[in-house]
Amino acid sequence: MKKLRAAFGYLTLIIIAISMLYPFFAMVNLSFAENSEIFSQAGKIFHSPLTFKNYLNVFEEIPLSTYFMNSLIVAVITTFGQVIIASMAGYAFARLKFKYRDLLFLIILVTMLVPPQVNIIPLFFLMRELHLIDTYQALILPGLFGGFGVFMMRQYFLSLPKDLEESAVIDGCNFFETFFKIALPLALPAVATLAIFTFVSSWNSFMWPLIVTNSEGMRTLPVGLAIFKGSFREVTLWGELLACSVICTLPVAGVFLLGKKYFINDILQGGIKE
């Protein structure tokens, strides 16, 4: 009976995995097809002949390398900044006792309930007053702070035993040394999870970069891809769009594969905590 349940469970997971991976496989597969053959071969698992023309053409049609570098710079800096800020804030809320601590944490939780679209107009006026429109600062600064990251890191630090930190204090470590040498290395699973979520969110961000960028040299990949798709053409270049979509997906998949070990460990540890 147990073997039957296990086999049914694995079969269900395989079916779910195939249903989720097939659209991505189809996108990669059709990105190597001629534009005239994309719809005729959409249902085929493999097609021939393969061509790299779409990938070459997309770099000629739009400044894809510029869009890619802009997205990479914004996503990397935003991820690094939010991980550091959220980790330090979460550790402070978990270990320090200060006046109005619970109230401040409640306010941070409330910010998680506010839709991001509500903040767009005030943020835009703020960036305009600071003369940061169409700059990297405007793309990066709003993403450095997030209530979800502070909440997740606080909960993880609360689950860690205090014995090692107390031993470090006895050995002469101050608060910052205890955080960077003891607490933060122990929280690597949570840090990796937050980094993955932040990178994916920043990389896929569309509305905010669309609003605060004016010049082509500051556009990010999602904005550039949308403009390329909506440009005035008699025929939509589906092959180039699919190729550009594949290029947009590769960094996200790479970040997840790099942090997969810590991400899975974080899920497992969360499942076995009492």
Q: What is the pLDDT of residues 98-114, one digit of tens each?
A: 888 889 999 998 888 88
Q: Which two tokens stand for residue 168?
A: 């470090």
Give the mean model confidence (pLDDT) for residues 83-93.
93
pLDDT number for residue 150: 93
93 part of a folded domain: yes
23 part of a folded domain: no
17 part of a folded domain: no
Buried residues in 93-117 as b, exposed as e (16+ CB within 10 A):
bbbeeeeeeeeebeebeeeeeeeee
**Domain tally for the chain?**
1
pLDDT digits (tens, 9 = 90+) for 196-238: 999 999 999 989 999 999 888 899 988 888 877 765 555 667 7
7 part of a folded domain: no
Q: What range defines the domain where residue 229 resides?
A: 31-272
The terminus-to-terminus CA distance of the chain in angstroms comes to: 29
Q: Which two tokens stand for residue 135?
A: 């700059």
CA distances from 150 to 120, 130, 267 (A): 21, 26, 18
Rounded Cα distance between 240 and 88, Å, is: 43
The residue that leads in pLDDT, 66 or 261, is 66
152 part of a folded domain: yes
pLDDT number for residue 170: 83
2 part of a folded domain: no
24 part of a folded domain: no
15 part of a folded domain: no
Q: What is the pTM of this model?
A: 0.83
The band of 271, judged by pLDDT with boundaries at 50, 70 and 90, is very low
Rounded Cα distance between 170 and 160, Å, is: 18
Q: What is the CATH number of the domain that holds 258?
A: 1.10.3720.10
CA distances from 77 to 59, 73, 137, 199, 211 (A): 25, 6, 10, 9, 20
